[in-house]
Amino acid sequence: MIRIERVSVLIKELRLRFGAGQESGPLVLDEPAVTIFVGPNNSGKSMVLREIAEFSRHGDTHRTILGGLKFRKQSVEEIDAILEVWIDDSRSPGEMDYPDHEYLKFGAWRTLIHVPDFRRVLQNPEEDTNFFAEQYAAHHMLILDGPSRIGLTAAQERGDLKDPQSTFARLLTDDPRRESLRDVLFDAFGLYLGMDISEGASIHLRYGNSAPPNERTVEDATLEWMRNARPVHQWSDGMKAFTGMLLVLRAGDPKIIIIDEPEAFLHPTLAYKLGREIAQTASQGEKQVFVSTHSSQFLMGAIQSGAKINVVRLTYQQGSATARMLSNDDIRVMMQEPLLRSANALSGVFYEGVVVAEADADRAFYQELNERLLAGESGRGAPNTLFLNANGKDSVNKIVGPLRALGIPVAAILDIDALNPETNFPVLLKATNYPKPHRSISSERVDVWSDLVSNDKKPKSDGGIALLTGAAKEKAENLFDRLDQYGLFVTRHGEVEHWLPELNVARSKRWLRNIFEALGNDPKAPNYVHPDDDDVWAFLDKVGAWIKDKGRRGIPL
């Protein structure tokens, strides 16, 4: 069982139903502050958020991904403070008082509660999880979907500013917090947020080109600024969503915040800033934020905030589900290493698999053929797979290794000269988690290469293992078969340019352009090349089968 520790908050423990593999225990998060769920489409990211919300509202309900939640015990002092705020002494006609009972009110919710039971369960939530969830936790949860995020910036009632209740009222009466938020929003938009109390009994939000005068007054300078500033509803949905989410984080009172795809409506730069702000703000207070995202920019912002983030990658493939905690340090390496950053390797966490080729032309070729396999709707090809390229075979390991460390099935495709002693083969074996010691397979690799280049043969350009016969060829095939098992696919016939020889495309600097022209672009045209059962199509079938195989080798647990 994997445990991740954090400081005390409302949810003491979050347990999923499974872990990194079939032999792993379930993933358990201790007192998580910020948890970001990533993974391919249909892996359960949105579902786990719904299940967290349902458990926090109603307790022990049916769940598919979430194993359960344990709530933190409330101290006697905390319960006294809750009751002091929640007890409602007003009575409606017909309402009666009962011994040991009180009417509790929180927002629009109001109910009659047996106080000793309320105290007992808040002190020991596991005694009656459903009661704790329905009568306490549910009132401290906020779910932010697309429309509700935008609606967070709508005008709010000012109320009694001596005892501010709404998010806007609390922010209006807290100058340091309001000014800090204004600085963050100015950094994002180059505009200044202002809180307008000049219209009736409500507080409205506006954005202006200069910092507003004292918003807690209706002096001439303040009124003039409000006239010239544009109301927030006139700005874009992305701007409203970004503003609203930060308002709730900085000044709202929910203890559990659930956000599905917070990057919706946002430019990548804003997604990065939002990730950073959510992580920093939640980690400094008593809020717990659970997020699902498809944005590498949002994830990068959260990691680079410096806060401790739980990044959980979910997968669901062939009836098998996994949940793996991703190391903040490993993700940070992927963001800081220039090659990985330029290749956008971090996006691999949102795919079922990744294929890494030596060069961009190789990547484009294999990606196009994989798309044709998928279009055939025959189950062939690697679905939801990201194709990346390194800068030559000696840098393939720099992409494969970090992604595999995150539990992502990453296949490497290399030309046959990967066996050349001048290539750093040991780092490829290490990146693909080939079992140690490597002496035996390294020796076989040297022997096979010696056979390939004997008598001045040129295996890369002249046909690869087709140059071999008898025992030498069998030895080469055995070597490649073992490498295939670990997702290290060496092009047995030489190099990428030798696929599909019937198209008669010569090896040259224009090879990719020429091969694409020969492949055709209209599936209905007679010259369009559809998948076949041999050559590169069979090769990519093996690559796809490894990615889809839940028992694949080479992925660390």
The pLDDT assigned to 184 comes to 94
- CA–CA separation, 114 and 117 (whole Å): 6
End residue of a domain, out of 60, 90, 123? 123
Q: Does residue 52 carry a pLDDT above 60?
A: yes
Q: Confirm if 178 and 211 have CB atoms less than 8 A apart.
A: no
> Please, which pLDDT band fits residue 1 given cuts at 50, 70 and 90?
very low
Could you read off the pLDDT of 320-332 as tens digits, one per residue? 899 999 988 888 8
Q: Domain of residue 102: give its range.
A: 76-123
Beta-ladder partners of 193: 207
pLDDT tens per residue, range 446-475: 999 999 999 899 999 899 999 999 999 999
Query: Are the CB atoms for 31 and 6 separated by under 8 Å?
Result: yes
Beta-carbon contacts of residue 311 (< 8 Å; ≥ 6 apart): 35, 36, 38, 299, 302, 303, 325, 326, 328, 331, 349
* Torsional sign, CA 17, 20, 24, 29: negative
pLDDT in tens, 375-426: 987 889 999 999 999 999 999 999 999 999 999 999 999 999 999 999 999 9
pLDDT for the residue numbered 5: 37
Residue 282 resides in a domain: yes
In a domain, 301, yes or no: yes
pLDDT, average across residues 499-512: 92
Mean pLDDT (the chain, rounded): 92
The Cα-based distances of 269 to 94, 224, 242, 295 in angstroms read 57, 32, 12, 11
The reply to whether 435 and 395 lie within a common domain is: yes
Rounded to whole angstroms, how far apart are CA atoms 501 and 495? 12
The yes-or-no verdict on residue 339 having pLDDT over 60 is: yes
Q: CATH number of the domain that 7 lies in?
A: 3.40.50
Q: Which of 255, 285, 317 is the last residue of a domain?
A: 317
Burial status of residue 75 (CB atoms within 10 A of its CB: 0-12, 13-18, 19 or more): exposed
Residue 138 located in a structural domain = no
Indicate whether 555 belongs to any domain.
no
For the cut 90, the answer to whether the pLDDT of residue 152 exceeds it is yes
Kindly indicate the confidence band of residue 3, based on its pLDDT and cuts at 50, 70 and 90. Answer: very low
H helical segments located in 136-219: 146-151, 167-172, 175-189
- What's the number of domains the chain is made of? 3
If asked whether residues 216 and 355 sit together in one domain, one would say no
Same domain, 308 and 354: no
Q: What is the pLDDT of residue 21?
A: 82
332: in domain: no
Same domain (yes/no): 440, 509:
yes
User: By mean pLDDT, which of 97-101, 315-319, 535-539 is the weakest?
Assistant: 315-319
Q: Using alpha carbons, list the distances in angstroms from residue 193 to 150, 207, 241, 488.
A: 16, 5, 14, 54
CA distances from 456 to 310, 451, 459, 476, 479 (A): 55, 10, 9, 18, 22
- Asked whether residue 61 carries a pLDDT value surpassing 90, the answer given is no
Residues 287 and 418 grouped into a single domain: no
The answer to whether residue 247 is domain-embedded is yes
Domain boundary, last residue among 288, 317, 346: 317
Answer with the residue of higher pLDDT: 318 or 436.
436
Q: Are 520 and 411 found together in one domain?
A: yes
CB 140 within 8 A of CB 287: no
Q: How far apart are CA 35 and CA 309, in angstroms?
A: 6
Q: Is residue 296 domain-shared with residue 347, that is, in the same domain?
A: no
For 346, residues 6+ apart whose C-beta sits below 8 A from its C-beta are: 296, 299, 300, 331, 334, 335, 340
Residues 58 and 118 both lie in one domain: no
First to last CA, the chain: 12
Q: Inform me whether the pLDDT recorded for 4 exceeds 50.
A: no
Q: Give yes or no: residues 172 and 263 share one domain.
A: yes
Domain shared by 34 and 107, yes or no: no
Based on its alpha-carbon atoms, the radius of gyration of the chain, rounded to whole angstroms, reads 30
Position 108 scores a pLDDT of: 84
Backbone conformation region of residue 39, classed left if phi is above 0, alpha if psi is from -120 to 50, else beta: left
Q: How far is CA 375 from CA 14, 41, 180, 370, 383, in A?
A: 40, 18, 52, 9, 10
470 Cα distance to chain centroid:
50
Sign of the C-alpha dihedral, residues 162, 166, 169, 174?
positive
Q: Which two tokens stand for residue 477?
A: 């095939």
**pLDDT tens-digit map of 375-387:** 987 889 999 999 9
Categorise residue 553: left if φ over 0, alpha if ψ from -120 to 50, beta otherwise.
beta
| Percentage helix, strand, coil for the chain under 3-state DSSP, each rounded to 5 | 45, 20, 35
What average pLDDT does range 275-298 have in this prediction?
91
- Determine if the pTM surpasses 0.95: no
Least confident range of 46-60, 240-254, 409-423 = 240-254
Residue 297 lies in a domain: yes
Crossing angle of helices 396-405/328-336, nearest 10°? Answer: 160
pLDDT for 22 beyond 80: no
Confidence check: pLDDT of 7 > 90: no
The pLDDT score that the predictor gives to residue 8 is 57
Q: Where are the alpha helices (DSSP H) in 163-236?
A: 167-172, 175-189, 220-228
Note every long-range contact of 377-384, with CB atoms under 8 Å and residues 24 or more positions apart, other chains counting: 380/531, 380/537, 380/540, 380/541, 380/544, 381/540, 381/541, 381/544, 382/352, 382/353, 382/355, 382/540, 382/543, 382/544, 382/547, 382/548, 383/352, 383/548, 384/40, 384/41, 384/351, 384/352, 384/353
In this prediction, what percent of the chain has a pLDDT beyond 90?
A: 81
SS (H, E, C) 515-528: HHHHHCCCCCCCCC
Q: Are 416 and 409 in contact (CB under 8 A)?
A: no
Examine the pLDDT at 6 and tell me if it is beyond 60.
Answer: no
Task: Kindly report the length of the chain.
Answer: 557
Give the pLDDT confidence score for residue 114 in this predicted structure.
96
**Do 112 and 193 belong to one domain?**
no
Rounded Cα distance, 216 and 212, in Å:
11
Pairing of strands 34-38, 310-317: parallel
259, part of any domain: yes
Work out the pLDDT band at 546, boundaries 50, 70, 90. very high
User: Hey, what are 102's tokens?
Assistant: 């009180």
pLDDT average, residue stretch 352-372 = 97
Partnered with residue 290 across adjacent β-strands are 35, 258
Same domain for 342 and 208, yes or no, is: no
